[in-house]
Structure 1
Amino acid sequence: MTLPIVESISPPPSALRGWVFWSAMTMLALLGAAIVFLIVAFLLGEALPLISKGGLTRFFTDEGWWPRDASFNMTPMVVASLYLTIGALLVATPLSLAISLVTTFKAPTGLARLMRNLVELSAAVPTVVYGLWGVSAIVPIINLWSPPGASLLAGVLVVALMIIPTISVLTQSALQGVPVAYVQGAAELGVSENQTLLRIVVLAARQGIFSAMVLGAARAIGETMVVLMVCGSIVQVPTSLFEPVGMYAGSGVALHEEAFNTGQESPRPAGGTRLKLASITGWQSGASAPSVLHSFFEPVTPSGE
């Protein structure tokens, strides 16, 4: 009598490996979310005692930023950080767009590959290297016209150089996602190459370019080491590009000694406020980031051309 072959009820090896892989990925994702939650809880928990003494409005109504005297007006640093971010975007965005257009449509294959590799390599350079370059090159040049050289302008130039790789890489992805039919149709209608790139391709990829700008702004407004090294670290509302300023992101580092002298409470509210700004910036980038993926899978129809 031949016994029937009983098939194993265990899943096939491929299915088992897939289950183990996705289970591990899920655990890692939950671990990352838990770490973020703990950071948020720690910042808010440490900030609440000081906030409860005067409320959030004191960060904009106190006489100035003197942690030793329990005065925490962060308005000058917030304004200076916004000026820095806007200035860096104004410098970096046109350069990044030009680099992306050249590497995607104009340059020969070998040169385009070399340019892309250099841009990606510059994104991996530590920020302290940019800071040292700014101190040794940019600040002395500015000092020739307007001492002391460490100023808002120096920060704008160095931070703009830092965010160019971020904006360029994402802009290249957005431009590559524009359907070829757009370019071919423009060529058949007799539109010049430059007009096609600027008025059709760039407009079709505008959502991805905006996403790149948002992520570049997020890096600029959160930069710490560079602004401490080249901006002068003087807390004041700048009235000129040549004035030294203290930035919002560097407040927790530059004033750490004062924080200890006031019971280690002053950087916690600053961290809590930074957390709010980061959440707003992250929400904006998260809302616009799908446009980059969208450009890879579906045509982006220009509107209003």
Structure 2
Amino acid sequence: MKASRGLTEEALSKQTDPSLLKESGLFKQLTNRYSESRGKFLIFSCALLMIVAVIAITLFLMVQGLRSFVVDHINPWTFITGMQWYPDSATHPSFGALPFIFGSMAVTLLAAVIATPIAVGTAIFMAELSQKWGQRLMQPVIEILVGIPSVVYGLIGLLVVVPFMRIHFGGSGFNLITGALVVGIMILPTVASIAADSIRAVPNSLREASYAIGGTKWQTIWRVVIPAAGANLITAIVLGMSRAFGEALAVQMVIGNARNLPHSLFDPAATLTTIITLSMGNSTTGSVLNDALWSLGLVLLLISYLFILLVRFLSRKRVL
């Protein structure tokens, strides 16, 4: 017993030795500092990698996209405003990108017009009218729609929407409005998800104040909640438009891929993405056509940057 008691007292004396405690605390302090420095290094490296990637992609597209103007001496104004795209002509090849720019903008705007009412209505149902069922039922549906590949949307448009347009509106069924319908369905879950989060972010005090002065449920939603979430709702729409603007495969399958400017919603058209995907495989590196396609990609990137700047501008607004 005395021996065990002596060992216990010796162990306690070692544990309470100030020098040992000091060394142990110093070791932990050094370890914590090392871990913190390593964590900061990893985080800053990831952030730096993202910045370098964006700058590298932008510079690469600028170098490749400007070749058609610097090396091939294509007039930039003629390229942007030209109506004819006939790069294969042996006598007078023409590179006019306006039909494709117009097609991209038209598909994007029409898709936003189609998707916005449905998406905002779905968001209101999820966030205001039926929060329990909306979270259990609609959230998984939206996640499934987001996860469906774009080629599946294209196949559905090819087998369902195109024949419907052909039967009821005539023509081949491959037209501008068909592409807008397919893209509108694609961006619907994106807009609905962001819009629902925006509505949920509205403070409950605004709703309670509306109810306190006699406002009904619909009056509160229409005159209080929607205006309070207005800037974020617009941001959701613009984000959906940016995705629609960059869509290629699904649009290519249903829009008709015509090189001319469409005169109505039921005429075939083409977008920047569709003409790039269709023609890039048939061009050789360094040819005039290849350089012109890279210029179309540069135009696509610049317009996408405009969408991003618009989102950044709207995110700073507060509409009440």
Shared fold per TM-score greater than 0.5:
yes
Contact 2:229 2:319 survives alignment (8 Å): no
Residue identity opposite 1:269 in structure 2: S
Match of 2:290, SS?
A: coil
The count of residues paired between Structure 1 and Structure 2 equals 293
Give the C-alpha shift of residue 35 in structure 1: 2.0
Contact 2:251 2:274 survives alignment (8 Å): yes
Contact 1:103 1:113 survives alignment (8 Å): no
Residues 11 and 252 of structure 1: CA distance in aligned 2, closer, same or farther (over 3 Å): farther
Asked if 1:282 is matched to 2:308, the reply is yes
Contact 1:128 1:226 survives alignment (8 Å): yes
Asked if 1:118 is matched to 2:153, the reply is no
**Of 295, 299, 305, which residue of structure 2 is paired with 1:269?**
295
Q: Within 2, Cα distance between the matches of 1:130 and 1:94?
A: 20
Range that drifts further, 231-240 or 204-213: 231-240
Range that drifts further, 118-127 or 95-104: 118-127
What corresponds to 1:297 in structure 2? none
Percent pairwise identity: 25
**Of 214, 221, 232, which residue of structure 1 is paired with 2:238?**
214
> How big is each residue's C-alpha offset from its partner over 1:164-193, in whole Å with a ceiling of 9 and x where there is no partner?
111111111110111111111111111111
Range that drifts further, 49-58 or 264-273: 49-58
> How big is each residue's C-alpha offset from its partner over 1:257-287, in whole Å with a ceiling of 9 and x where there is no partner?
4533646212111111112111111111223
Range that drifts further, 276-285 or 65-74: 65-74
Q: Within 1, Cα distance between the matches of 2:275 and 2:74?
A: 20
Q: Within 1, Cα distance between the matches of 2:204 and 2:67?
A: 58
Q: Within 1, Cα distance between the matches of 2:278 and 2:180?
A: 19
What corresponds to 1:184 in structure 2? 208
Aligned-residue RMSD, C-alpha: 2.1
Residues 45 and 90 of structure 1: CA distance in aligned 2, closer, same or farther (over 3 Å): same
Residues 181 and 63 of structure 1: CA distance in aligned 2, closer, same or farther (over 3 Å): closer
Residues 15 and 100 of structure 1: CA distance in aligned 2, closer, same or farther (over 3 Å): farther
Q: Within 2, Cα distance between the matches of 1:135 and 1:120?
A: 23
| Structure with larger Rg | 2
* Structure 2: 5+ residue stretches without partners: 1-16
Residues 36 and 301 of structure 1: CA distance in aligned 2, closer, same or farther (over 3 Å): closer
Asked if 1:167 is matched to 2:185, the reply is no
**Of 224, 227, 238, which residue of structure 2 is paired with 1:203?**
227
Contact 1:259 1:266 survives alignment (8 Å): no
User: Could you tell me the TM-score, scaled by structure 2's length?
Assistant: 0.85
Range that drifts further, 142-151 or 46-55: 46-55
Q: Within 1, Cα distance between the matches of 2:240 and 2:319?
A: 25
What corresponds to 1:68 in structure 2? 88
Match of 2:88, SS?
A: helix
Residue identity opposite 2:218 in structure 1: N
User: Could you tell me the TM-score, scaled by structure 1's length?
Assistant: 0.89
Range that drifts further, 62-71 or 163-172: 62-71
